[in-house]
């Protein structure tokens, strides 16, 4: 079985693809490592039930949306952190734990000298939000290099050396149709065909 090659993409488009794979794959798992330390998977249901009042307040303030609410309070079964996205995990870590916030808060990119777990959460959140605003599917190399170093450093601190190795492998990996998510293939690569 052969894999289709990606049509020629520019360096800036490849930067976007790599960043998308880093943010949707590796960095979300790194955040989950911290989340599962703070909210043990065997106790997450009990913790959520105990904090229902606070969660209702966050929902009423539109900090937690309807889809996230359904993940916290599923009709069948119990909540599972494996279904939580980065945004929901950061909201819960930020609002339901005693973790000290990063020096500049969660809503801006922390200084590189701040390598606390919450600064790393803010870092990942910042770049995830930035990635969503790259409408043309391109990231300049100068921006990419800085962001990659920042994110992979956060991933290493939150997720450990195995995840750091995954970041290195992804950075060097040859991209083909099998490594590019279908939703990205449709947006970026159709323009090249």
Q: pTM for the whole thing?
A: 0.82
Q: Which domain holds residue 121?
A: 11-35+84-187
In a domain, 166, yes or no: yes
In a domain, 107, yes or no: yes
In a domain, 165, yes or no: yes
pLDDT, tens digit, 9 for 90 and up, residues 15-68: 999 999 999 899 999 999 999 999 999 999 999 999 999 999 999 999 999 999
In a domain, 44, yes or no: no
Query: DSSP readout, 108-137?
Result: SPPPTT--SHHHHHHHHHHHHHHHHT-TTS
Q: State the pLDDT confidence band at 104, using cuts at 50, 70 and 90.
A: confident
In a domain, 94, yes or no: yes
The answer to whether 125 and 70 are in contact (CB under 8 A) is: no
Total domain count, the chain? 1
In a domain, 70, yes or no: no
Q: Residue 138's CB: how many other CB atoms inside 10 A? A: 18
In a domain, 175, yes or no: yes
In a domain, 119, yes or no: yes
- The Cα–Cα gap between 2 and 19 comes to 25
pLDDT for 11 equals: 87
């Amino acid at each position: 079985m052969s894999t289709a090659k990606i049509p020629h993409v520019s360096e800036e488009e490849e930067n976007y693809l790599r960043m998308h794979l880093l943010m949707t794959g590796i960095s979300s798992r790194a955040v989950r490592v911290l989340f599962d330390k703070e909210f043990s998977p065997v106790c997450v249901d009990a913790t959520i039930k105990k904090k229902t009042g606070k969660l209702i307040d966050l929902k009423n303030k539109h900090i937690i949306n309807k889809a996230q609410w359904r993940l916290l309070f599923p009709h069948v079964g119990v909540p599972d952190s494996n279904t939580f996205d980065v945004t929901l995990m950061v909201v819960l870590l930020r609002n339901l734990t005693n973790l000290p916030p990063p020096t500049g808060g969660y809503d801006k990119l922390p200084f590189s000298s701040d390598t606390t777990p919450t600064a790393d959460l803010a870092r990942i959140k910042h770049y995830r939000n930035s990635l969503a605003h790259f409408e043309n599917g391109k990231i300049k190399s100068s921006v990419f290099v800085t962001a990659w170093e920042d994110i992979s450093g956060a991933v290493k601190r939150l997720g450990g050396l195995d995840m750091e190795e995954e970041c290195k492998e992804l950075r060097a990996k040859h991209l083909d149709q099998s490594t590019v998510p279908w939703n990205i293939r449709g947006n970026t690569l159709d323009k090249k065909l």
